[in-house]
Amino acid sequence: DAKTTQPPSMDCAEGRAANLPCNHSTISGNEYVYWYRQIHSQGPQYIIHGLKNNETNEMASLIITEDRKSSTLILPHATLRDTAVYYCIVRVANRDDKIIFGKGTRLHILP
């Protein structure tokens, strides 16, 4: 699976949009971009994933650049409960499903 690069930490004001970047310049054509988050003392939680089109669900939006070498996770109206570590992962779907987690971005939502 391709490697990803994320900033180690970010701050965002409560109520504002949080934009979390991820670089995956070596992504292959059949690899998806997945985002998870881990709130303190809990297991990671799936947020969203995409291949090349932008995606939106009830939690977030995922913007993937046209060359697919980077993406941005957008939390439209961040709340204090969104404080967590956010992981960006690229992987081939329907393979052995192993996920290798990087260090992620620690997002602090400021009141």
Partner 1 sequence: SQTIHQWPATLVQPVGSPLSLECTVEGTSNPNLYWYRQAAGRGLQLLFYSVGIGQISSEVPQNLSASRPQDRQFILSSKKLLLSDSGFYLCACKGRLNNEQFFGPGTRLTVL
Site size toward partner 1 (CB under 8 A) is 21
Footprint on residues 18-47 left by partner 1 (CB under 8 A): 34, 36, 38, 41-46
Q: Greatest CA separation found in the chain?
A: 42
Does 54 bind partner 1 (CB under 8 A)? Our answer is no
Q: Who's near 74: CB < 8 A, 6+ residues apart?
A: 17, 18, 19, 20, 60, 61, 62, 63
Applying CB under 8 A, the span of 15-23, 58-66, 72-80, 91-99 interacting with partner 1 comes to 91-99
Q: Residue 44 is inside which H or E element, if any?
A: none
Does 16 bind partner 1 (CB under 8 A)? Our answer is no
